[in-house]
C-alpha cells in the first residue's frame, strides 16, 4: 500500500532513540523529510546521519527540551526554516518512568510535575507550535505516543500522564478536525528498544525473579505471545501519519500486541 507520504515533512520528538527513532525511520522510508527532536546533540547527529544515508531523504536533528516554552518556539522556528514547515508531528518525548510501584507515602510531587510537564504540556507546546502551519495548509497529522499504563494501576505518575495525553488528544481532535488535522494517540505496551534489557532487569530485581521469568510473564499477558518491537509500533504510526488514516480521529490505538482477557469497546 502506498501511504502517500512522499514529500511530507515530519517532526518526531524523542526521535534520537527508542520508539521515536523507529518512527522516524519508518517515516523516512516512506518518503518523508524528518526533523528529529531530542535533548542530546550527539545522539541526534548520529541518528540523523544514519537515517539520511539509509533513506536518501533530508533528516535533520534539532536539539530541544520540550519541557520549556522558549525552547519549543525556537525549535519550531528552526524546523520551519530548514524544512519549510511540518505536515506531521509525532510527540514521543518523555522522561523515563521506571514503572516501579510507588505507594502514596513514596509519591514524589516534583517528579510527577516534571513528568507531566514534558509528556503532557510538552506535547501541547509542540502542537501549538506547528498547528498554525497545518491549518494554513488545511492538512496535518498529530500522533501522540502515550502508553498502556493509561489502562492499568501500579504507577500513579505513569497512569495519570498517559491518561492526560489521551484526553489532550481528544480535545485537539475535536478542535482541529475541521481544519483537516487528525489527532490520534498510540498506546504502546512493553516494547523492544535498546533500553529493554535494563527495564526487564529492573522488573526482575523488584519481583525477585529471573529476567527470563519476566519475559515469560509478559508474553503470557500479550495475545501474540511476545513483546512487540519498536519497528512494529512505528508501522502503526506511519499509517496514522498518512492521508489514508482520515477515518481515525481522536481515538486511542493500542500497539502492544493485544492484552489477554480484556475487552475495550
pLDDT in tens, 105-120: 878 899 999 999 999 9
State the pLDDT at residue 98. 58
Q: What local confidence, expressed as pLDDT, does residue 264 receive?
A: 85
Say what the pLDDT of residue 99 is.
56
- Residues 6+ away with beta carbon under 8 Å from 113: none
For 77-135, the pLDDT digits (tens) are 999 999 999 999 999 999 876 556 667 887 889 999 999 999 999 999 999 999 999 99
Cβ within 8 Å of residue 91, ≥6 positions away: 13, 14, 66, 122, 123, 126, 127, 142, 143, 144, 145
Q: In 10 A of CB 187, how many CB atoms? A: 21
Q: With a threshold of 0.85, does the pTM exceed it?
A: yes
Q: Which CATH architecture has domain 9-190+231-253?
A: 3-Layer(aba) Sandwich (3.40)
Q: Which has more confidence, 206 or 44?
A: 44
Query: Hey, what's the cell of 236?
Result: 502503526
- Sign for the CA dihedral angle at 106, 103, 217, 190 comes to negative
From CA 125, how far away is CA 68, in angstroms rounded?
8
CATH 3.40.50.720 domain residues, the chain? 9-190+231-253
**In the predicted model, is pLDDT for residue 58 greater than 90?**
yes
Read off the pLDDT of each residue in 159-171 and give the average, rounded to a whole number: 97
Mean pLDDT, residues 225-239 taken together: 97
Give the confidence band of 203 by pLDDT, cuts at 50, 70, 90.
confident
- Is it the case that residue 158 has pLDDT exceeding 70? yes
Amino acid at each position: 500500500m502506498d501511504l502517500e507520504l512522499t514529500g511530507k515533512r515530519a517532526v518526531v520528538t524523542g526521535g534520537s532513540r527508542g520508539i521515536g527513532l523507529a518512527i522516524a525511520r519508518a517515516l523516512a522510508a516512506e518518503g518523508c523529510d524528518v526533523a528529529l527532536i531530542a535533548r542530546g546533540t550527539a545522539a541526534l547527529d548520529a541518528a540523523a546521519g544514519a537515517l539520511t544515508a539509509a533513506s536518501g531523504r533530508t533528516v535533520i536533528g534539532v536539539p530541544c527540551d520540550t519541557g520549556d516554552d522558549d525552547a519549543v518556539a525556537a525549535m519550531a522556528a528552526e524546523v520551519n526554516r530548514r524544512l519549510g514547515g511540518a505536515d506531521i508531528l509525532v510527540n514521543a518525548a518523555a522522561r523515563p518512568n521506571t514503572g516501579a510501584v510507588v505507594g502514596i507515602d513514596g509519591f514524589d510531587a516534583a517528579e510527577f510535575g516534571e513528568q507531566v510537564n514534558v509528556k503532557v504540556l510538552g506535547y501541547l507546546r509542540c502542537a501549538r507550535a506547528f498547528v498554525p502551519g497545518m491549518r494554513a495548509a488545511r492538512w496535518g497529522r498529530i500522533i501522540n505516543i502515550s502508553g498502556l499504563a493509561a489502562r492499568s494501576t501500579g504507577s500513579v505518575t505513569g497512569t495519570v500522564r498517559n491518561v492526560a495525553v489521551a484526553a489532550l488528544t481528544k480535545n485537539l481532535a475535536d478542535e482541529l478536525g475541521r481544519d483537516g488535522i487528525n489527532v490520534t494517540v498510540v498506546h504502546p505496551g512493553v516494547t523492544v528498544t535498546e533500553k529493554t534489557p535494563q527495564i526487564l532487569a529492573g522488573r526482575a530485581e523488584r519481583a525477585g525473579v529471573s529476567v527470563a521469568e519476566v519475559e515469560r510473564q509478559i508474553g503470557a499477558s500479550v495475545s501474540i505471545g511476545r513483546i512487540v518491537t519498536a519497528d512494529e509500533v512505528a508501522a502503526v504510526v506511519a499509517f496514522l501519519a498518512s492521508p489514508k488514516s482520515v477515518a481515525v480521529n481522536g481515538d486511542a490505538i493500542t500497539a502492544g500486541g493485544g492484552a489477554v482477557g480484556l475487552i475495550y469497546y
